[in-house]
Structures are given as C-alpha cells and as structure tokens.
C-alpha cells in the first residue's frame, strides 16, 4: 500500500526529527513511497501544521539559487508517542492525540543547528 504525500513527508521528518531536511531529499522520499512524487512540499507542510505539528521551513540562497529545508520540531516524549502511533501507510494522528507529551513551548535555542545544503 502506497502512502499519501503527507504521510511520507511526516515519516521522513519524524525519522530525522529536529534536523533540517533538504527539500530534494523529501521529494525523492515521497517518490519512493507514494504513487506520485510530491513537489508541493510547502503544501504538505501546511497540511501537517493544520494537524498540530511544528513544521519549520528555512530558505537560503546559494549562488543565486534558493534552497529550502524543513524540520519537524518535537520534544522527545512527543516523538516517542508519535513513533508508537504512526507508521508509514497509516493515517496521521493529530498532534493533540499526543497531548500527554505535548511540550509547553519550543524555544528556538533548543535547536540551534541551521539548514545545510
């Protein structure tokens, strides 16, 4: 069974939680796990945000070319709960279903690394 583009995007970001993932890597991952390659990663990120996930985006310009990276920012307890409740090809749980692990807030200083392209 093939995953949806949102499921594949969340799965990769979950595996690489709290790390910047370059957009081309997400596109290639969705091509492997979905019926079609997803080029509208910004739309899938928006879908995941609507389900309560903290999906961050950073764009950098290198030699006149824009490069985009995405990151799922998530506390360790919530990440463990997500891994227990979600596998590729299954419907995405709403972040509120992980509420017993929900952090009171994510501080930018918790994740100081930058997008590397």
On whether residue 111 sits in a domain, the answer given is: no
Q: Is residue 116 included in any domain, yes or no?
A: no
Percent of the chain with pLDDT over 70: 79
Q: What is the pLDDT of residue 26?
A: 92
Task: With cut-offs at 50, 70 and 90, classify the pLDDT of residue 25.
Answer: very high
Question: Is residue 78 assigned to a domain?
Answer: yes
The Cα 99–Cα 26 span in angstroms is 27
- Mean pLDDT of the region 85-89: 86
For residue 59, is it within any domain? yes
Is the distance from CB of 40 to CB of 76 less than 8 angstroms? no
Which pTM does this prediction carry?
Answer: 0.78
Give the count of domains, the chain: 1
pLDDT at 102: 44
Establish if 38 belongs to a structural domain: yes
pLDDT (tens digit per residue) in 50-75: 999 999 999 999 899 999 999 999 99
Domain that holds residue 45: 5-97
Q: Is 109 among the domain residues?
A: no
Instruction: Give the DSSP H or E segment for 25.
Output: helix 23-33
DSSP-derived 3-state class of residue 3: strand
Dihedral angle over CA of 25, 31, 33, 35, nearest 10: 150
């Amino acid at each position: 069974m093939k995953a949806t583009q949102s499921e594949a995007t969340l799965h990769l970001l979950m595996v690489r939680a709290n790390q910047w993932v370059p957009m081309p890597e997400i596109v290639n991952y969705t091509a492997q796990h979905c019926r079609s390659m997803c080029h509208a990663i910004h739309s899938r990120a928006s879908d995941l945000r609507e389900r309560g996930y903290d999906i961050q985006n950073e764009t950098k310009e290198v030699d006149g070319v824009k490069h985009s990276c995405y990151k799922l920012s998530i506390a360790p307890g919530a990440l463990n709960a997500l891994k227990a409740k979600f596998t590729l090809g299954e419907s995405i749980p709403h972040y509120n279903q992980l509420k017993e692990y929900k952090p009171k807030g994510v501080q930018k200083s918790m994740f100081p690394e930058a997008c590397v392209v």
